[in-house]
Each structure stands twice: as structure tokens, then as C-alpha cells.
A and B are shown apart, each in its own frame.
Chain A
Amino acid sequence: MTWLTDFWRSSIGGKVTMAVTGVLLFGFVVAHLLGNLLLLAGPDAINSYAKWLHDKGPLLWVARIGLIAIFLLHIVTAIRLSRANKVARPVAYAKEATMQASMASRSMLWSGLSLLVFVVYHLLHFTFGVTNAEHFAKKAAPSTAAWNGHDVHAMVVASFQVPVIAIAYAAFQLVLFLHLLHGLQSFAQTLGVHHARYTPMIKKLSVLLAAAIAGGNVLLALSVLLGLVKGAA
């Protein structure tokens, strides 16, 4: 254990922790989007996907606990490193200039904390059914495959038909885009991969991946808002 804690406490160990937990969280975001894209395939597709997930039982809980642990480790390490960085510069420059640090890289702490707020809201909304209980309570027809009769499709459609909710979700995707952009661009460098040819390619690929994730999520919210995806008649 001391080996692990010593590693985590070191500057580079902290960076590596951010990179590894970050890329695992990115993996989750990819899987989350791929699953949710079933919304476009109609009520049966996404409802049976939800049932399939819940039928995994204990396995689902292992995944959930793992995800929460990774998420917490990512946040705790970020806070530790950010605090150390603040202490490392006790007096700010009277005149500050930025030469090549990107906006995304400079806003990591703020984009990260905003995403934390968003995740809490997102869980209250779609997982615990606190913020829009009436959408959460929608029931699927008994003949269809749905977990506990819970109609995910109807819930999502009802929520994103509310303009404020759809636009808020879409807006947070811009924050997610910025956070993923710098995270993905940093991942290889932090783990020690730097190559004259591949590093510029990784940077371009990061823009593509971050845009694909954010764009996919925006597509879901807006396709409901614009009436392209409708609830059951």
C-alpha cells in the first residue's frame, strides 16, 4: 500500500492517476452515448437495452461502484494537484501573458467542477427521478420489454421536450467538449508517449473524439426538442 500511496502523492504519480482515471471515464462516456443513441431507434430499442443492463444484477453494481471510485479518485487527485499548484506560485504576476496554453487547458478545473454539478443534476433527473418525478414515473405498456415497466424512452422524450432542460443539457456538452479535448490531448503525453509524427495526430484525433461525444449528446437532446424523436402516440 505504501508503494501505491507514495506513487499517488508524487507529482508524476498524480498526473498518471489523472490520465488513467480520465481515460476510463472517457470510456464510460463513449459507452453511455452508444447506449443512449438507441433512443433514435425507438422505444423498444432503448427500453430493452435498459432492461438488459438492469438484468445484469450484481455485475451492474460492480460496474457502478468501480465507476464511482474512478470518478472520486479523479476529483480528489485533481483537487490535490490544483492546490499544490496554487501553493507553488504564492505571488501572482502583475502582468500576465499566455503564449500557447489553450483555453481548454486553462479551464480544466472549472470545466471539471461544472461537469460535477451537471452529473449530480443528471443523476437526480434520470437516475433518481427527483427533479422531474412526473417524467420518471412514466410506465411502458406491459407487453413490451422494459425494466420494472419503467419507460426510459418516454421519460427522456418528455424531459427534452422541455426547452430549458434540452438547452441546458446541450450547453453542458460544450463544457464536456472542452474538458475531453484537453484530457485526451494530455493523456498520451502524461503516460510518456511523445512522437514527432503521432503527437500532432493524437491532438487532431482528440478534437474529433471530443466533438463526436459532445455532438452525439447534443443530437439526442435537440432531436427530441425539434420533434424528430416523438413519444408514443
Chain B
Amino acid sequence: MRISLHIWRQSKKSTKANFKQDGKMVRYQLDHVSPDMSFLEMLDVLNEQLTKKGEEPVAFDHDCREGVCGSCGVMIDGEAHGPESGTTTCQLHMRSFRDGAEIWVEPWRAAAFPVVKDLVVDRSAFDRVVQSGAFISVNTGAPQDANAIPVPKADADRAFDAATCIGCGACVAACKNASAMLFVGAKVSHFLHLPQGRVEREQRARHLVAAMDQEGFGNCTNQNECEAACPKEIPVRVIAEMNREFVRAKVRQEPVSSKRVGGDG
């Protein structure tokens, strides 16, 4: 296959004042691409070619290359992780493109995800959101007998739907508003349906939403682009659940006196 690529090249890290830096789209051509190559293997071939020519290879994130780690992920022809649904970039193969295709490859675009280099973005905003409350504080000890705490099958399924999130950031990238609500909704929903997670549901909802807003993600307008882009096909139901949990937590919030210290915000 012959493939033409338009790839975003940016050598310096984005800053708030200069997000684009000196970045620009650069065209490359590959003449012998096998349809059996994965998208990342195709980029590997390009990078070997660039290295031989003494040019800087294209930087992109990748780790497991089997669709579970969430490291890879680029915008391919305007679609997060490319044209195949329920598929990460590493699991996308060149047979999904036609011979002679012109492919546009760009990093995730969001103020909360500054570009580090080329196609690599800094997703530590997600880590900070998780650190604000996407966990259970109590030490749960050694694994218990599997059925010690009964969880209805339907609840376990809902929690598991959300728990499949790999934190790749495709939802933010695909959202017209660069909103992270599918990701944060998945964290809320993941714990909401399980008895261990329900104990801290109110502070979790408040803290996660506050952290999300703090990072400068956009706001959901119910266009459901995230759901279509998510390689794990997490449904927008989790966003409705987060909305409900947040309103519930705000309504039940006790007024905090200004004299009290260390109160839960």
C-alpha cells in the first residue's frame, strides 16, 4: 500500500501562552505499507525511514500495543483512535485504509492536555482527577470470599462497564468541547454500583467534579461524540449518573462554617 501522512510536528512543549509553539502539519509518504501492519507499526516504519535520513523521528505514546494500557491514542482523520469503533490506535490495522490514502494524524487537542512533543500529550490531568477521589479510602484487606458481599449481577455489570476505562483520553479528544465528563463519569459509576464504593459517594462526586473543573476541561453538551470515540465503548449513561450524584452530593452537603478547619469541601 502507498500511504501519505500529514503529521503534527511540534518540538517544544505547549504552554498556556503558546499552545501551538512552532508546530505544523508535515507531509510524509510511505510506499510499501503492508495491510497487516498496525497503525503504530506503520509509524515505526516511518520513523526508521526518518532516522536513516538523519531526521527527528515522530514522537508518539505507546506501551502494551494490545489495546489495554491506554497509552496510545491519536486523532486519525478527525476521529479519536481512527475509523474503527471500539478499537485503540495500536489495534487499528492498515487494512482499514485504502491504498493511496491521505491520513491526517494529530495529537489530542485540549487545554488540559498540553502537547509534550509531536503526537505525545501530557495526560496527568487525568491522574490528578483520579487522585482527588476515584478510590476507596479504607483498607479492604486481603481478598474476601467471592460471594461474601452479594452484588446483584446488573449492578456488577454497570460497575464493570465503567471500570473498563483505560484512561486514554479519547473522550476528551473527540468531544467538541474537550470535556472529560465521560472519563469522570466512568470513575463515579465504577464505584457507585458497588457497596464498598457507596460509602464515600458524596465526597467523591464533589471532589471529582471540582478537580475536573480545575483542570480546565470543557462542559458536556450531550452530543455523545465521546461514546462513539471510546475504545472501550463506555456509554454516556455514566455521565447521567455523575450528574445525578453531583446534584445529590451538593444537596446533602452540610454547610461548612468558616471557623471549622479541615472540613470536606
A residues near B (Cβ < 8 Å) are 3, 7, 10-16, 81, 84-85, 87-102, 105-106, 108, 182, 185-186, 188-194
CA distance A93 to B76 in the complex (A): 10
Q: A-facing mask of B240-253, CB < 8 A → 1, else 0?
A: 11111111001001
B residues near A (Cβ < 8 Å) are 6, 8, 19-20, 25, 75, 77-79, 104, 106, 109-112, 174, 176-179, 181, 209-210, 212-213, 216-225, 227-229, 236-237, 239-247, 250, 253, 255
Pairwise interchain contact B246-A12, C-beta atoms closer than 8 A: yes
Pairwise interchain contact B219-A91, C-beta atoms closer than 8 A: no
Residue of B nearest to A109 (CB): B221
User: With A3-B253, A12-B243, A95-B77 known to touch, is A88 a contact of B112 (CB < 8 Å)?
Assistant: yes
Pairwise interchain contact A89-B177, C-beta atoms closer than 8 A: yes
Pairwise interchain contact B110-A89, C-beta atoms closer than 8 A: yes
CA distance A188 to B239 in the complex (A): 11
Pairwise interchain contact B225-A11, C-beta atoms closer than 8 A: no
CA distance A226 to B174 in the complex (A): 47
Residues from chain B with a CB closer than 8 A to the CB of A14 are: 219
Pairwise interchain contact B111-A89, C-beta atoms closer than 8 A: yes
B30 to chain A, nearest CB (A): 18
Pairwise interchain contact B247-A106, C-beta atoms closer than 8 A: no
Name 28 interchain pairs, CB-CB below 8 A, sorted by A. Answer: A10-B209, A13-B246, A15-B219, A81-B221, A85-B177, A88-B110, A88-B178, A89-B109, A89-B110, A89-B178, A90-B20, A91-B20, A92-B109, A93-B75, A94-B6, A95-B104, A97-B77, A99-B79, A99-B174, A105-B222, A108-B221, A182-B222, A189-B239, A190-B243, A191-B243, A192-B243, A192-B244, A193-B244
Partner of B243 from A15, A97, A99, A101 at Cβ < 8 Å? A15
Pairwise interchain contact B209-A91, C-beta atoms closer than 8 A: no
Pairwise interchain contact B79-A97, C-beta atoms closer than 8 A: yes
Pairwise interchain contact A85-B179, C-beta atoms closer than 8 A: yes
CA distance A81 to B222 in the complex (A): 13
CA distance A95 to B173 in the complex (A): 13
B45 to chain A, nearest CB (A): 22
User: What is the total of A-B residue contacts with beta carbons within 8 Å?
Assistant: 138
Pairwise interchain contact B228-A88, C-beta atoms closer than 8 A: no
A88 to chain B, nearest CB (A): 3
Pairwise interchain contact A11-B213, C-beta atoms closer than 8 A: yes
A144 to chain B, nearest CB (A): 48
A206 to chain B, nearest CB (A): 11
CA distance A23 to B194 in the complex (A): 33
CA distance A93 to B75 in the complex (A): 9
CA distance A214 to B176 in the complex (A): 28
CA distance A97 to B175 in the complex (A): 11
Residues from chain B with a CB closer than 8 A to the CB of A106 are: 176, 223
User: With A85-B177, A99-B225, A106-B176 known to touch, is A192 a contact of B241 (CB < 8 Å)?
Assistant: yes
Partner of B219 from A84, A90, A93, A97 at Cβ < 8 Å? A84
Residues from chain B with a CB closer than 8 A to the CB of A192 are: 240-241, 243-245, 247
Residues from chain B with a CB closer than 8 A to the CB of A188 are: 240
Pairwise interchain contact A85-B236, C-beta atoms closer than 8 A: no
User: With A3-B255, A99-B225, A100-B228 known to touch, is A93 a contact of B109 (CB < 8 Å)?
Assistant: yes
Residues from chain A with a CB closer than 8 A to the CB of B75 are: 93, 95
Residues from chain A with a CB closer than 8 A to the CB of B20 are: 90-91
CA distance A188 to B227 in the complex (A): 17
B82 to chain A, nearest CB (A): 10
Residue of A nearest to B222 (CB): A186
User: With A88-B110, A91-B109, A194-B236 known to touch, is A11 a contact of B224 (CB < 8 Å)?
Assistant: no
User: With A10-B210, A91-B20 known to touch, is A99 a contact of B228 (CB < 8 Å)?
Assistant: yes
Pairwise interchain contact A96-B177, C-beta atoms closer than 8 A: no
CA distance A84 to B19 in the complex (A): 16
Residues from chain A with a CB closer than 8 A to the CB of B6 are: 94-95
Residue of A nearest to B218 (CB): A88
Residues from chain A with a CB closer than 8 A to the CB of B224 are: 100-101
Residues from chain A with a CB closer than 8 A to the CB of B255 are: 3
Query: In the complex, which of the residues A11, A97, A100, A106 has the most CB atoms of chain B within 10 Å of its own CB atom?
Result: A11
Residue of B nearest to A96 (CB): B78
Pairwise interchain contact A91-B19, C-beta atoms closer than 8 A: yes
Pairwise interchain contact B240-A189, C-beta atoms closer than 8 A: yes
User: With A3-B253, A91-B19 known to touch, is A99 a contact of B218 (CB < 8 Å)?
Assistant: no
Pairwise interchain contact A194-B241, C-beta atoms closer than 8 A: yes
Partner of A15 from B111, B220, B229 at Cβ < 8 Å? B220
Pairwise interchain contact A84-B247, C-beta atoms closer than 8 A: no
Residues from chain A with a CB closer than 8 A to the CB of B217 are: 11, 88
